[in-house]
Amino acid sequence: MTNRLTITRPDDWHLHLRDGAMLAAVLPESARHFARALVMPNLVPPVVTGADARAYRERILAALPEGTGFTPLMTLYLTETTDPGDVAAAAAEELIAAVKLYPAGATTNSDSGVRDFDRVRGVLERMAEIGLPLCVHGEVTDEDVDIFDREAVFIERVLEPLRRATPGLRVVMEHVTTREGIEYVRSAPRDLAATLTTHHLVINRNHILAGGIRPHYYCLPVAKRESHRLALCEAATSGDPRFFLGTDSAPHADARKLAPCGCAGCFTAPDTMAILAHVFEEEGALDRLEGFTSRHGAAFYGLPENSERITLEKGEPVPAGGMLETGEGPVTIFDPGFPLAWRVVE
C-alpha cells in the first residue's frame, strides 16, 4: 500500500482569485500547492483588454506572500467588441495564455459574455492563426433548455458549429460535467481538451438537493447524475492527456452563498490535492495523478513541466472543510463528504 507520493508540482488550469480583500485571502491557498494557475477574467468589470490583464496580474503578484513561487497565467474575457489585434498583441507579449468564452448569463459575472457568435468570428480566426486556446464555459442559456441539459445542448448548438467554422482553433471545454462532454472530447482531434474540477469528481446532484438544500455544493455547471460523475472519474484517472485539472475553485463569502439567490461556486483550493489523492486511490490510479495534475495541461498549453516537486503522505483521516476568514467575510471550504487521509507535507 502506497502511503507517500512525490509528484511534479501541479498546475490549476481554471481558477477564480477574485480581487481586493478576497484575492488577498484566497491566493495563498492556491500558491501553497500549485506552481501556476490559469486565472479567470470574470471580475466586475471584466478583464477584457491586454491592459486590463496586465493590471490584474500586477495586483495578483502584489498580493502573493513573500517568497512564494507562483505564476498567474492571465486570460481575456471575450466580448462582442473584443479587438483581435489587442488579443494577438497580448499573446505575443506572453501576457495571456488563453481567451475565455462565457455565453451571456451562463454563470457568475457573465453578463458581458457573447450572445451573437458571428460578432466574435474575427477574434476566433485570429486565435486559430496564432495558436491561442479558447476556454469555453460550455452551457447554453436558452430558457427552453433544462439546466441539467445545458452542456449537451451547447456541444450540439454552439461548440461543434464553432469548431467547424474555425479550423485549427484550439479549445478547452472547461469544467466538463457530463458523459456527453467526455465522449465529445474523445471523439475530436487533439485540438480539443477538457478540464475536470475537484468537486465534480466527488459530488452529484443529490449532494445539493437530497435531505435539504446545501448551498455550498451549488456550482455552475451544476452537478449532474451519479452516472455522469462516474464518467468524469473514469476520464480523469484514465491517463488520457486530453483531460487535466482545472479546479474552478470559486470563493464567495458565506453571506452571498446563503442568500435567497445564492452565488454558484465551490471553494476547493485548500484541499484539492488531498481530495484528488483520495479519488485516484479509490480508482486504483494513484500512478496517474501526476499526469492529470502536473503534465497534461502543461503539454496542451505548450509550457514546460514544473521543475519543483511536492510530496503527499497518507495518515490518520481528519475532517475536511472548515472556514477561511477574509476581508469580505467567512468563506466555507468545500467538504467532499469524507475525511481526508492524504495531505501535502512538502
The three three-digit cell numbers of residue 288, written as one number:
496517474
Q: Which residue matches cell numbers 460550455?
A: 138
d(CA 309, CA 277) in angstroms, rounded, equals 15
Among residues 164, 108, 100, the alpha carbon closest in space to that of 132 is found at 100
d(CA 171, CA 192) in angstroms, rounded, equals 5
Annotate 62-81 with DSSP letters as a single string: HHSPTT---EEEEEEE--TT
Q: What is the signed CA dihedral for 186, 40, 300, 298, rounded to 10 degrees? A: -130
Q: Which residue matches cell numbers 496564432?
A: 130
Classify strands 323-324 and 331-332 as parallel, antiparallel or unpaired.
antiparallel
Could you tell me which residues are beta bridge partners of residue 172? 135, 193
Among residues 152, 88, 76, 85, the alpha carbon closest in space to that of 114 is found at 76
Catalytic residues: 248
By CB neighbour count within 10 A (0-12 exposed, 13-18 middle, 19+ buried), where does 94 fall? exposed
Among residues 64, 125, 62, 53, the alpha carbon closest in space to that of 93 is found at 53
d(CA 260, CA 196) in angstroms, rounded, equals 29
Q: What is the signed CA dihedral for 199, 204, 206, 207, rounded to 10 degrees? A: -10
d(CA 80, CA 86) in angstroms, rounded, equals 14
